[in-house]
């Protein structure tokens, strides 16, 4: 513009600096709250939902299924002989194995499904849409097949088996 530039007064500069500082504090607080919400609902090792968040989602899905008639299914998965991995190879490798298992389990999910680490070597999948016994059994077979492939953790080749339980609503 060809108009002369307005000059900042000392008070205006201080006010602008204070506004910028307060804005930065608001943004930092929002990020902190978001981080706290994530940490409250997710497992710190795998980034999956935690037991509390999964229980809430399961309860909501079962209540919704009771209203809509759309079946939901829950698969509970426990790694067999996982204690041996921790005992013989150390907890560090056990943690790496849990992260690798979580990554493979994510492959079985549809966008409406949920996956959680309940604790230790226990995982859970929630099949919200089309949670029929047939789909639950197909997902369990897919999980078993994904776990059949060997895991390589720090140059150690590990074979993992899992026990899988299925519950369907409203059937069960």
- Residue 43 bears catalytic tag: no
Phi/psi of residue 122, each to 5°? Answer: -105, 130
State the catalytic residue, choosing from 28, 87, 121, 155.
Answer: 121
Kind and range of the H or E run holding 142: helix 133-148
Q: Report residue 44 as tokens.
A: 């710190």
* Distance of alpha carbon 99 from alpha carbon 55, whole angstroms: 21
How far is the CA of 27 from the CAs of 21, 33, 42, in angstroms?
Answer: 10, 10, 22
* Distance of alpha carbon 63 from alpha carbon 67, whole angstroms: 7
165 neighbors 76 (Cβ within 8 angstroms) = yes
Annotated catalytic sites, by residue? Answer: 121
């Amino acid at each position: 513009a060809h108009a002369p530039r307005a000059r900042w007064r000392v008070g205006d500069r201080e006010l602008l600096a204070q506004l910028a500082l307060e804005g930065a504090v608001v943004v930092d607080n929002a990020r902190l709250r978001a981080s706290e919400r994530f940490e409250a609902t997710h497992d710190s090792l795998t980034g999956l939902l935690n037991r509390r968040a999964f229980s809430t989602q399961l309860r909501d899905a079962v209540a919704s299924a009771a209203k809509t008639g759309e079946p939901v299914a829950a698969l509970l998965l426990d790694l067999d002989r996982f204690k041996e991995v921790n005992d013989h190879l150390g907890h560090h490798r056990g943690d790496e194995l849990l992260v690798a298992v979580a990554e493979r389990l994510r492959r079985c999910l549809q966008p409406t499904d949920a996956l959680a680490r309940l604790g230790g070597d226990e995982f859970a999948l929630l099949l919200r849409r089309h949670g029929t016994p047939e789909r639950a059994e197909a997902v369990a077979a897919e999980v078993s097949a994904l776990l059949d492939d060997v895991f390589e953790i720090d140059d150690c080749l590990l074979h993992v088996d899992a026990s899988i339980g299925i519950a369907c609503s409203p059937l069960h």
